[in-house]
A and B are shown apart, each in its own frame.
Chain A
């Protein structure tokens, strides 16, 4: 069932691409709206919170437009789009010469009617920011594989198609990415404590 739905979506993408090539602006808009969320998610998770997020998403679709001639109909559009998005992100990082940074310190909003979420939300944001800072220390290849698998939920086979690498290479990168991240957490007690803070209460211990 799922497979049939995916094939249907891929078929619709191909049709939209065909219409785009014919100059149909509405088809391009439809393509944009269909895939904007996935591209935004990938760019966001590769870079962390960034004021340039929306610009980068548009950069991805501009690149799609300019490269539509090289897209082959037998390929899956979403795979090709992920590849383009990854390349845009990596090029952006190279051009800006920086790694994702921790977001600025935020103050907890005053609690409303005893809601416990204000402080918790702030702690969550801090942990997430620390996580993105850790991700930023990974090499581009490992981070791409880690993000696509752990955060985007793609299979190694699909990731292999996107990054144009054998599945074995994808698994190797994933293994080292996880290990490096875990090592960094282990080596930094302050970070480990920060990551533990909100996770401790009520969490089952191994």
Chain B
């Protein structure tokens, strides 16, 4: 059978499938499950997406932040309380100035939500019964550790690729956008994104830039994670009675408070909702067998170039090395007459480890499979200059033959 025959067969088959009748629903109206869900959600108030905050309002944020800082300072001065040892509990006031917070201080929202403002950068709100602490604020990145309950964050647009990160029980949620909620539910970490994008991945110490694996969640997406993975851990052997099911909270889960001005919907325990698929090796074996032996694909494409704190020379050297190899493969693999020039433009995404090992190279739009196979083999043993924390970078490249 020729390739043309195969395509004709495929087209006929597609027409046959199009003509196939899709199963009819059993119930004519709204199924009881949806009806119950609607009543549950509606009781919390369904709201529309918030309009962008006007520029005038943004200008007042620093003023609010300063006022909150002043109020906080006043509370501490008046109370005259000595600083306690170890993790401290912050006085129960409505809004805290994030810039005045000491690293490692435990912030406890007991009977009502606590709001933390990092003026001009981000704000986050702890639901009642939740606890969190600010663990670092260096390099333009705020890192918050959620110890218990639920946290809703809104992050101001920034040139920093990931300016806000929430760590929770082995899972790390890094901001690519503006508004999301992280909740600890039993062993699970539930992440719901209202606006923008976040990347969820295992918490790895010592990383300064985007790690190589994770799951990208976009607006309206929710998902459960266990130590950064969407797969729950296997149950421990021989202890069926001792191990509670992962979806069952071990303690009463605190209610999740939406951030009022954004109209965020609370995430719900047990929800298993969509996430953009990760390109992790957890993909079924059948798919791996069918795919050409190209390098793994990254999770996010089209993002602005982000090389973190890596030295510019390392980044440039890596890009040059890889671009040369790609160009070589393009010339070698793209057929055609020598008189006819062929040009292609693609966006190269590159992931480099601190020791200079290339972890991934991705092309959007993809190159011809033959070219990608060639690139994969060419880059298999390439190392570039070391950098303090590794980096990720993207660049448009033009290939010519």
A residues neighboring B (CB under 8 Å): 18, 20-23, 25, 28-29, 32-33, 36-37, 40-41, 44-45, 53-54, 57-59, 61-63, 65-73, 80, 83-84, 86-91, 93-95, 97-99, 124, 127-128, 131-132, 136-137, 139-140, 150-151, 153, 164, 168-169, 172, 176, 178, 180-186, 189, 192, 195-196, 199, 203, 206
Contact = CB atoms under 8 A, between A and B. Distances in A.
A142 B42 CA distance: 37
A87 B276 CA distance: 7
Given A151-B17, A182-B3, A71 B223 contact: no
B71 interface: no
A65 B23 CA distance: 24
Interface of B: 1-10, 12-14, 16-18, 20, 22-23, 25-26, 29-31, 33-35, 37-39, 41-42, 45-49, 192, 194-195, 218-223, 230, 263-265, 268, 271-278, 282, 284, 286-287, 290-291, 364-366, 369
Contact of A90 (B4, B194, B277, B369): B277
Contact of B17 (A80, A83, A87, A131): A131
Interface centre among A18, A37, A58 (most CB of B within 10 A): A58
Given A36-B25, A69-B49, A87-B274, A25 B42 contact: yes
B221 A87 contact: yes
B282 to A, nearest CB: 8
A121 B362 CA distance: 44
A181 B10 contact: yes
A22 B77 CA distance: 46
A185 B37 contact: no
A176 B365 CA distance: 11
A45 to B, nearest CB: 7
Contacts of A98: 284
B145 to A, nearest CB: 26
Contact of B268 (A66, A124, A169): A66
B272 A95 contact: yes
Interface centre among B6, B271, B286 (most CB of A within 10 A): B6
Nearest to B263: A69
A54 B291 contact: no
Given A97-B284, A181-B10, A182-B3, A40 B271 contact: no
Nearest to A185: B6
A53 B23 contact: yes
Contacts, number: 195
Contacts of A68: 46, 265
Nearest to B32: A58
A206 to B, nearest CB: 6
A45 B26 contact: no
A131 B9 CA distance: 11
A25 B35 contact: yes
Given A21-B46, A128-B20, 11 more contacts: A62-B34, A63-B273, A67-B221, A71-B48, A91-B277, A99-B286, A178-B7, A186-B5, A195-B13, A199-B12, A206-B5
9 contacts: A23-B45, A59-B273, A63-B274, A90-B275, A90-B276, A140-B277, A180-B290, A182-B3, A192-B1
Contacts of B369: 176
Interface centre among B4, B31, B218 (most CB of A within 10 A): B31
A66 B41 contact: yes
Nearest to A44: B22
Contacts of B34: 28, 32, 58, 61-62, 65
B46 A32 contact: no
B385 to A, nearest CB: 32
Contacts of B222: 63, 66
B219 A70 contact: yes
Contacts of A88: 273-274
B7 A62 contact: no
Contacts of A127: 13, 16
Contacts of B290: 137, 180, 184
Contacts of A124: 16, 20
A91 to B, nearest CB: 4
A120 to B, nearest CB: 11
Nearest to B369: A176
A26 to B, nearest CB: 9
A37 B25 CA distance: 8
Nearest to B195: A70
A36 B26 CA distance: 12
Query: Which 9 pairs, one residue from A and one from B, show the smallest C-beta to C-beta distance?
Result: A87-B274, A67-B220, A91-B274, A182-B6, A29-B30, A21-B46, A23-B42, A186-B6, A172-B365
A84 B284 contact: no
Nearest to A135: B17
A28 B29 CA distance: 11
A29 B29 contact: yes
Given A23-B42, A37-B22, A99-B284, A91 B366 contact: no
A131 B287 contact: no
Contacts of A73: 48-49
A71 B10 contact: no
Contact of B366 (A18, A172, A192): A172
A83 B219 CA distance: 10
